[in-house]
Structure 1
Amino acid sequence: MKLTNLATEKRNQHTAHIDTMSTKEILNVINKEDMTVAQRVQQVLPQVEKVVDAVSHALSRGGKLFYVGAGTSGRIGIMDAVECPPTFSTSPELVQAVMAGGTGAFVQAVEGAEDEEERGIEDLEKRNITDLDVVIGIAASGRTPYVIGALKHAKKVGAVTVSLSSNLDSAISKFASIPIEVETGPEVLTGSTRMKAATAHKMILNMITTTAMIKIGKVYENLMVDVKVSNKKLKDRAISIVSTITNVAEEKATEILEITNFEVKPAIVMLKANVSFEEAQSYITQEGGFVREAIERARKERV
């Protein structure tokens, strides 16, 4: 499909005279266009659900999640991937981003990097993906050769393939077992897919990793109990989480966290089930990392 025929490349009639608008008028029209994004994302939730189930299944059996993209799409993948280790205490290898032009392209565009299908294949080959993994190719236009190459390779090795685009009948959808086409329509600035399309894609990636991590036991109630304590803010958050969940004073929460080396999960189980650190760790392991189930098992066995 020609670039000019894509929905993301069409002119937005609401902004045809944006160059004559006041600052307030420009901001209002951008805001109104942004309001439509969540509604468009809502329309593709059934497809996102399938991806989440595939990702959570993959992660629970030793697989990994890979994002592949160029330009803005690649940057969105990197942003989501790098937030997983501090948020969920995952290994940096668990969720990875592969970007056309390398990670240096995150801060400085590498022109033409997205046009080579073979480079997409090569870059993904270097990550040694297997049939346990999930590969999500991201391209607002839905036709980026780099992403197509990566999806072709992923499909060849038997990985679950997912496409994320903002145009219907996208080229990349043909290489995905689960295609997501979130049609965000014409941009405020014609073709500037760093705006609505990118916002939609960021929302969807947030949904995928957050929900998948919940489903593999990284969250208790609505708290990040697998937070990796690497700075003072996160240390304070860990104390607050333990104190809130167990209804103990922050001093007591701190005392228990010092025993667990500031691992939140065993601290919660210790306090909720009145068990030792070693016992808490054992129950958590037996229950596959799920805190609620670990507490229930510990309480039953102590009766």
Structure 2
Amino acid sequence: MAKNLQQTERHSPRYRGLETWPDEDILESLWASQLKAVSCVQLAIPSIEKGANEVAERLSNGGRLFYIGAGSSGHLAIQDGLELNPTYGWPLDRLIPLIAGGEKALLSPMGGAEDDTHSSVETLKYYDISDQDVLIAVAASGSTPYTLAAVKHANKIGALVVTIANNEKASMFEYSNHRILLNSGSEVIAGSTRMAAGTAQKTALNMLSTLVMTKLGHVHDGLMVSMIINNEKLANRGVEIVQEITGDDWETSKKALEDAQNDIKLAVLLAMQHPIPDATNALKKSNGHLGQAIQLLNL
């Protein structure tokens, strides 16, 4: 029977009698497992790169970004998606995070919801997912019914499908454009995929979405130039970003950011003494890429 188990469900003999071990040995094993989980993502870099490039291309043409998963995988997927607005200014109306069991599943365990193949498809239909959109699906096993059904539907209608799984025989891979395999192996606690599998998923999601947002022009010199400013701490950080890019003093940078109504990219161009109409036009022509806008204005 053990031979039929998926990689993430297998019980490694290495951890038999774990509960009798000294605490330090248990923690050392958990730590080593986490390191292995992060390390395994390196082999997936080519897949992440290809996926990110095509995701960025689809989104640059007006597509929406869907995230979907169940249980721990769903939580990680949604977390990654929700961070894109405050960090990179990704519009909320072009972000659709979905999890088995709906919003209630964010605060309460709803294990049975992952078997519901009807709700995920109906939700995608409700949002009218199309061939312009992107679906990022995450499942440790790669065969979670809720997630798999959504992947099949999205693939059928021509959406770009990126799947992330920790099982090389993941069923989702058969219906996706880009397959990201994270071979995190057996868990220290057999089947507890919130651990190593989850760590690998979190890492891969971070890498994928960060590269996508960078390619879409939301990063300049390693700085969050599309960051949403909605509190004092972020307002100060915004001023610091303008300062770092332009070399201007605090007061000049702060004034530019205020004049730009907290649009960091626009503030940088204003601090460089470009008029608002010219700066706005340059950003539009460069599709929001600050470096390109600066080059256009300096021609």
Q: TM-score range by the shorter chain?
A: over 0.9
Q: How does 1:127-276 map to 2 (within 5 A)?
A: 127-272=127-272, 274-276=273-275
Give the counterpart letter for 1:105 in structure 2.
Answer: A
Match of 2:13 in 1: 13
Gaps of 5+ in 2: none
The reply to whether residue 291 of structure 1 matches residue 290 of structure 2 is yes
Shift of 1:177: 2.0
Match of 1:44 in 2: 44
Judge conservation of contact 1:3–1:9 (CA < 8 Å) in 2: no
Shift of 1:190: 0.3
RMSD, aligned α-carbons = 1.6
Show CA shifts across 1:158-194 (max 9, x none): 1011221101111111121222221100001000000
The reply to whether residue 102 of structure 1 matches residue 85 of structure 2 is no
Judge conservation of contact 1:14–1:29 (CA < 8 Å) in 2: no
Judge conservation of contact 2:242–2:267 (CA < 8 Å) in 1: yes
Q: Secondary structure at the match of 1:112?
A: helix
Structure 1 residues 77, 3: closer, same or farther in 2, change over 3 A?
farther
Match of 1:281 in 2: 280
Q: Secondary structure at the match of 1:164?
A: strand
Give the counterpart letter for 1:139 in structure 2.
Answer: A
Aligned length: 299
- After TM superposition, the score normalised by the length of structure 1 is 0.95
Stretch deviating more after TM superposition (23-32 or 207-216)? 23-32
Show CA shifts across 1:115-153 (max 9, x none): 122222112112211101111221101111111110111
Shift of 1:3: 9.3
Shift of 1:289: 0.5
Structure 1 residues 95, 107: closer, same or farther in 2, change over 3 A?
same
- Greater RCO, CA 8 A, separation 6+: 2
Match of 1:34 in 2: 34
Gaps of 5+ in 1: none
- After TM superposition, the score normalised by the length of structure 2 is 0.96
Distance 1:109 1:126 in 2: 24
Stretch deviating more after TM superposition (195-204 or 92-101)? 92-101
Distance 1:202 1:182 in 2: 11
Judge conservation of contact 2:11–2:186 (CA < 8 Å) in 1: yes
Q: Secondary structure at the match of 2:79?
A: helix
Q: Secondary structure at the match of 1:233?
A: helix
Show CA shifts across 1:34-84 (max 9, x none): 111122111111111121011100110000121111101110111011111
